[in-house]
Amino acid sequence: MSSQDKKKYFTFMLIPHSEGAVRRLRIPWVLIQVCTCLLAGVLICACYFYRDYGRVKSHLPELYQLRETNNRQKGEIETLADQAADLEERLSELDELELQVQELLQATSQQSPGEVALVASRGSGEDGTIMGLRRKSSLLARGGGGAGKEQGALIPLVAESLDNVEMQVDTYRENLEEMLTALEKRQDYLEAKPSIWPARGRITSRYGYRKSPFGSTREFHQGLDIAAPRGTPVLATGAGVVTYAQWRSGYGNTVIIDHGYGFRTFYGHNSSLKVKVGQRVSKGEVIAHMGSTGRSTGSHVHYEVHVNGKPQNPANYL
C-alpha cells in the first residue's frame, strides 16, 4: 500500500492485556467525516427541538386555559341551543294561540282585516328580533363564523337576546290569553244576544201602540208579528235555555228562551213546539212551527224581546 493510500485511512489497534493477537481496525477517512457531520447534525437538531420544546412548554398554561374556555363555551352554546329550541316550541304554541284569536276576531267582527293581520303577525319577527336571534343561533351552531374570541363575545349577546325574547314571549302570551278570554266571552255574548229573524214572512204588526185587531180600542203591542203559512219554521234568535214551552193564555203555544245577559225572547201562536223546558238551544235552531193558536187572527209568530224584564222593540235586535 502506497503512502498516499495510507493517508486515506485511520488504523485502530486493539491490544489485549492477556496473550493474544493484536487486532487492527482500519476505517476510511471519508466514513469518519460522514459520521462527524451526522453527529453534528443530530446535535444541532436536538438543540433546535429542545429550544422549541421550551417555547411550547411556556405556552402550555395558555393552551390549557384555552381548552378550558373552549369547553365552557361549548357548554354555554349547548345551553343556548336548548333554550332556543324551547323558545321555538313556545313560539309555535303562540302561533296556535294567535290563530284562535284571529278566528275569534273574524267571528266577532271586532277588528278590520288589516288589524287582524297585524295581530297575527306579531311575534313572528316583524321587528327582526326573533329572526336576528335565529341568525345568531345559526352562527353559533357553525362555530361562530370566526375566531374563538369572537364567538366568546357573541355568546353573552345571544344569551341576553334569548332572555329578552323569552320575556316578550311571556308578556305576549299573557296578552293573547287575556284577549282570547275576552273574545270568547264576547263570542258567547254575541251568540246569546237575539239578533236574527225568528221566521221568514211579512210583518203585519210592529212594536208600539196600534188599533186592536179584535175591536176599535187602541192597545200597546209588545212585540213584532211576522205572518207566513202554517208550519213555517220558527227559529231561536239567540242561544239560550228554554224556560217555557207550553200553552199560554192569549199567546197559544208559546216558547220562552232565557239567553242570559238579561235577554229573554217570546215566540207565540205556534201550531207545534219542538223543544222542552230545560233544553239548551243554539242560534238559528228550529224551536216551533208557525200557527194561529191563542188569541190570533191568522198564521203568524208573535215575537218579543225582553231586556232585564222590560219589553224592547225587536226591530232594534234584527
- H, E, C per residue of the chain: CCHHHHCCEEEEEECCCCCCCCEEEEEEHHHHHHHHHHHHHHHHHHHHHHHHHHHHHHHHHHHHHHHHHHHHHHHHHHHHHHHHHHHHHHHHHHHHHHHHHHHHHHHHCCCCHHHHHHHHHCCCCCCCHHHHHHHHHHHHHCCCCCCHHHHHHHHHHHHHHHHHHHHHHHHHHHHHHHHHHHHHHHHHHHHHCCCCCCCCCEEEECCEEEECCCCCCEEEECCEEEECCCCCEEECCCCEEEEEEEEECCCEEEEEEEEECCEEEEEEEEEEECCCCCCEECCCCEEEEEECCCCCCCCEEEEEEEECCEEECHHHHC
Cross-strand pairs, 264: 258, 306
Averaging pLDDT over each range in 13-17, 78-82, 111-115, 190-194, which range is the top one? 190-194
Q: Which three cell numbers stand for residue 301?
A: 209568530
Check pLDDT > 90 for residue 274.
yes
Q: Rounded to whole angstroms, how far apart are CA atoms 255 and 196?
A: 16
pLDDT band at 279 (very low <50, low <70, confident <90, very high): very high
Check pLDDT > 60 for residue 277.
yes
pLDDT at 44: 84
Q: Measuring CA to CA, which residue among 24, 35, 34, 29 is closest to residue 8?
A: 29
pLDDT band at 113 (very low <50, low <70, confident <90, very high): very low
Q: Is the pTM of this model over 0.75?
A: no
Mean pLDDT of 153-176: 71
Q: What is the pLDDT of residues 18-58, one digit of tens each?
A: 776 777 777 777 777 778 888 888 888 888 777 777 777 67
pLDDT at 151: 56
Q: What is the pLDDT of residues 219-241, one digit of tens each?
A: 888 899 999 999 999 999 999 99
Q: Which fold has domain 202-317?
A: Glucose Permease (Domain IIA) (2.70.70)
Give the start-to-end residue ranges of the domains of the chain. Answer: 3-68, 73-192, 202-317
**For residue 192, what are the contacts with CB-CB under 8 A and spacing of at least 6?**
238, 239, 240, 259, 260, 261, 263, 283
Q: Rounded to whole angstroms, how far apart are CA atoms 247 and 118?
A: 53
pLDDT at 125: 45
**For residue 219, what are the contacts with CB-CB under 8 A and spacing of at least 6?**
209, 210, 211, 212
Check pLDDT > 60 for residue 118.
no
